[in-house]
Amino acid sequence: MSEKEQVNLTRRNLLGGTAAAMAGLTIAPGIILVETAQAKPKDQPVTDAVRWGILININNCADDCTGCVDACQEENGWGKGSSDESKSRPDQKAQWIRKVKVTDRETGHAKTLPMMCQHCESPPCVDVCPTGASYKRIDGIVLVDKHICIGCRYCMMACPYKARSFIHETLTDQRSYAPRGQGTVESCTMCVHRVDDDQQPACVEACSSTFNSAMIFGDLNDPESKISKELARHGGVRIRADLGLNPGVRYQGIYG
Partner 1 sequence: MYIFKLAILTLFLSVTSAQAEVPLPSISKGQGDSCVRATDDMRYNHMDYIQHHRDETMYRGIRTEQDSLKQCVTCHAVKDDDGGYINATDKRHFCSSCHSYASVKIDCFQCHTDTPRSTDIHEPLAQGQ
Partner 2 sequence: MKRIQFSEISGYAPGYLLILGITGLLAAMGLGAAYYMEHNGHWVTGMNNEIVWGTPHVFAVFLIVAASGALNVASISSVFQKPIYKPMARLSGLLALALLAGGLLVLVLDLGRPDRLIVAMTYYNFKSIFAWNIYLYTGFFAIVIVYLWTMMERRMNGYTRAAGIAAFVWRLALTTGTGSIFGFIVARQAYDAAIYAPMFIIMSFSFGLAVFLLVLMTIYHGTARKLGDAVLYRLKNLLGVFVAAVMMLVTMYFLTNLYATEHHGISAFILAGDHVYTKLFWVVQIILGSIAPLVILYNPITGTSRVWIAIASMLVIIGGLAQLYVIIIGGQAFPLVLFPGMEVSSTFQDGVVASYSPSLPEILLGLGGIGVALIIVTLAVKVLQFTPESLADADIDPNYSAG
Q: Which of 7, 36, 122, 177 binds partner 1 (CB under 8 A)?
A: 177
- The span from the CA of 25 to the CA of 42, in Å, is 30
146 touching ligand HEC, by CB under 6 A:
yes
Give the number of residues in contact with partner 1, rule: CB under 8 A.
34
208 lines the binding site for ligand HEC (CB under 6 A): no
What one-character-per-residue DSSP string does 19-59 give? HHHHHHHH--TT--PPPGGG---TTSPP-TT--EEEEEEGG
Residue 239 to residue 242: CA distance in whole angstroms: 8
Q: Is 223 in the site for partner 1 (CB under 8 A)?
A: no
In the complex, minimum distance from the CB of residue 179 to partner 1, in angstroms, rounded to a whole number = 4
Restricting to residues 222-251, name those near partner 2 by CB under 8 A: 239-240, 243
Nearer to ligand HEC, 77 or 248 (CB): 77
Nearest to 116 by CA among 189, 27, 40, 194: 189
Cα-flanking dihedrals φ and ψ of residue 118, to 5°? -90, 0
Question: Does the footprint of partner 2 cover residue 254 (CB under 8 A)?
Answer: yes
Give the angle 25-196-150 at the CA atoms, nearest 5°. Answer: 135
Q: In the bound complex, what is the minimum distance in angstroms from residue 32's beta carbon to ligand HEC?
A: 23
CB-count burial class (<10 Å; 0-12, 13-18, 19+) for 93: middle
Cβ distance 179 to 135 under 8 Å?
no
Give residues 97-116 in contact with ligand HEC (rule: CB under 6 A).
none
Binding characters for partner 1, 124-153, by CB under 8 A (x = yes): -----------x-xxx---x-xxx------
Q: DSSP label at 248? A: S
Could you tell me which residues come within 8 angstroms of residue 227 by beta carbon, excluding any fewer than 6 positions away?
Answer: 53, 54, 55, 216, 217, 218, 219, 220
**Residues in 140-159 that interact with partner 2 by CB under 8 A:** 148-154, 156-159
Q: Taking CB under 8 A as the rule, does residue 68 contact partner 2?
A: no
The yes or no reply on residue 51 touching partner 1 (CB under 8 A) is no
What does 174 interact with, of ligand HEC, partner 1, partner 2, none (CB < 5 to 8 A by kind)? partner 1
Contact 190, 181 (CB under 8 A): no
CB of 163 to ligand HEC, least distance (A): 16
Q: Are 21 and 172 in contact (CB under 8 A)?
A: no
Q: Which one-letter DSSP state was computed for residue 254?
A: S
**Is 187 among the residues that bind partner 1 (CB under 8 A)?**
no
Closest by CA position to 78, among listed 63, 64, 65, 92: 92
Tell whether residue 102 is a contact of partner 2 (CB under 8 A).
Answer: yes
Task: Give contact residues for partner 2 (rule: CB under 8 A).
Answer: 87-89, 91-95, 98-105, 115, 124, 126-133, 148-154, 156-162, 164-170, 182-185, 239-240, 243, 254
Task: Give contact residues for partner 1 (rule: CB under 8 A).
Answer: 40, 42-46, 74-75, 77, 82, 135, 137-139, 143, 145-147, 170-171, 173-177, 179-182, 184, 192-193, 196-197
Task: Give contact residues for ligand HEC (rule: CB under 6 A).
Answer: 146-147, 177, 179, 181, 184, 192-193
